[in-house]
Amino acid sequence: MSKILVLPGDGIGKEIIAQALKVINRLNDEFNLDMELIKGLIGGAAYDETGSPLPQETINLAHDCDSILLGAVGGYEWESLERDLRPERGLLGLREEMDLYANLRPAILYPQLASASSLKEELVSGLDLMIVRELVAGIYFGSPRGVIEKNGQSFGFNTATYYQSEIERIGHSAFQIAQKRDKRVCSVDKANVLEVCELWRETMENVAKSYPDVELSHIYVDNAAMQLVKEPKQFDVMVTSNLFGDILSDCAAMLTGSIGMLPSASLNKDNYGMYEPIHGSAPDIAGKDIANPLATILSVAMMLRYSLGQAKIADKVGMAVNVVLDQGYRTKDIAADGDKVVGTEEMGDLVVSALQ
């Protein structure tokens, strides 16, 4: 039996998670996977009920489960809370608590959606890129940080920090993924102006010595952003820091036509993972049955592959999504003229039917 902690979160989280659970229930029935679903609270929903965006009960459940399936966190109604009580602190806290340092963000362009990309089809057709983002260190977690009064005015500061060991372990993750792909890693930094990036680059060079079959290259983050738009297919695996990865992965996501199509995995050294779509809680469309659940369903496929050891069944989920797209069904965010536009719930039902 595999225990899965289900955290719907806020906004559209509840709607998209509901569709992913339909898929899991179908897989349980079809393949006797015996995945047990355990619901928990995180983010704004957790704050409203418990006064904390990450209750101790959720932490306890996370340690007792084999993986986590997350919807999204955040919303307008919690933006005025003190920083430590905001929904996003629950997500960051859970990543840190479970040491989920390796964030895998694939950017795959489904051929059926090539016309939905903001770039010319010839630039993005066949795109299959993996961004490996360090997730529990860097400027989001570094100290000192804060806003103080200095020289008669407000002064804000954050600190970008990395230990060598933190860079080494994300480097090993990237190289091991590259060995199963095209054997190319591009490390993204800003070593020309930041000392922490000098350490990043030096450490990546040392890690590369353990993987003589993988080619390592380096690129500055500003150039990386430009190249992702200019010639995205030149990259295979990109590895970078928490901040840079946050920005570049969203840029890469839009090359595929919609951020609503892309899943993610956040793993620790034991392949325990938290799986979530890379889009946010989208409170402006919550409850309207128009959110795209495919990224969440594809996150289930990543969970099957990386944490539960069910790669063949993960492939079946991916194929089911392809079948639905081949049939011309689209949610609003990926629809073009002539497509069959469906809502969140119907899209989930279509994927379940395709699994048969």
Q: What is the pLDDT of residue 260?
A: 82
Q: What is the pLDDT of residue 276?
A: 97
Catalytic residues: 140, 190, 222, 246, 250
Q: Dig out the tokens for 178 from the structure.
A: 């590259």
Largest CA distance in the chain: 67
Q: What is the pLDDT of residue 117?
A: 79
Q: What is the pLDDT of residue 120?
A: 85
Q: What is the pLDDT of residue 185?
A: 98
Residues of the chain with pLDDT under 70: none
β-sheet bridge partners, residue 67? 4, 273
Cβ proximity of 286 and 11 under 8 Å: yes
CA angle 193, 186, 263 (to 5 degrees): 110
β-sheet bridge partners, residue 184? 215
Cβ proximity of 85 and 53 under 8 Å: yes
DSSP 3-state assignment of 313?
A: helix
Going along the chain from its start, the domains and CATH numbers come out as 1-101+268-356 (3.40.718.10), 105-257 (3.40.718.10)
pLDDT digits (tens, 9 = 90+) for 105-157: 999 888 888 777 778 888 888 899 999 999 999 999 999 999 999 999 999 99
Closest CA to 40 of 78, 74, 11, 14: 14
User: pTM for the whole thing?
Assistant: 0.89
CB atoms inside a 10 Å sphere around CB 80 = 8
